[in-house]
Amino acid sequence: MEIERLRRNAEALVEKTMKGNDASHDAAHVWRVRDLALSLAKEEGLSSNPHSMEIVELAALLHDIADYKYLRDPSEEKIVENFLDEEGVQEDNKFKILKIIKGMGFKEEVSGSGNSEGFPEFGVVQDADRLDAIGAIGIARCFTFGGSRKRLLHDPAILPRSDLSRQQYMNKEEQTTINHFHEKLLKLKDMMKTKAGKRRAERRHKFMEEFVKEFYDEWNGLS
């Protein structure tokens, strides 16, 4: 079937392009987001439309291939678009997949360029990606990424930033790993777009809040 061929080829592209990434943004992250996105899509009533499910799965599979944090060459920004062209994905589906990928990031929402109105597949994929950024997996990913960039775990003199612009959010050179919880991760529960995403985010968010409290207690010798 067409979708099976597309899935296999997209999976192969993920393996090829993301194999050098650290474990916070590797192929395993993509597989989790794909599974979450398809599950959310079913809960949101999209499974009756095969085009919607194809859009959701392909956008989830391809969403991190051109992540700005890992780009080695500007030409890599065109990898996904070229792949969709080569695979003959129909124009309407291609348009939605690219719109999801380009607009779903936290930095896009900070800048006000993210948009999911009238576009249910967008919210499904975005929520799936954000669910993988919170809870136990999210904590593990956060410290894995911080370690890969040699960031401090915590420095009481470096305070979390508030009211971030897109450019400020992307500039993390002097930030600590624990501050990322305050600047982004603890905000994601209230930014979920789908009812299914909101339900799942509750437990993960609570776990994360408990972790952050315990982190500070242990840091300060109170636990």
Q: Contact at 8 Å (CB) between 100 and 63?
A: yes
Topology at the third CATH level for domain 2-219: Hypothetical protein af1432 (1.10.3210)
Q: Contact at 8 Å (CB) between 131 and 205?
A: no
pLDDT of 132 over the 80 cut? yes
pLDDT above 90 covers what percent of the chain? 79
pLDDT of 13 over the 90 cut? yes
Per-residue pLDDT at 73: 77
Question: Per residue, what are the HEC states of 26-41?
Answer: CHHHHHHHHHHHHHHH
pTM here is: 0.93
Our measurement of the distance from residue 130's CA atom to the centroid of its chain's CA atoms, rounded to an integer in Å, reads 5
Token pair recorded at residue 74: 């500007």
State the virtual CA torsion across 119, 12, 108, 136 in degrees, nearest 10. 100
Domain regions of the chain by residue span: 2-219
Distance from C-alpha of 28 to C-alpha of 71, rounded to nearest angstrom: 19
Per-residue pLDDT at 1: 56
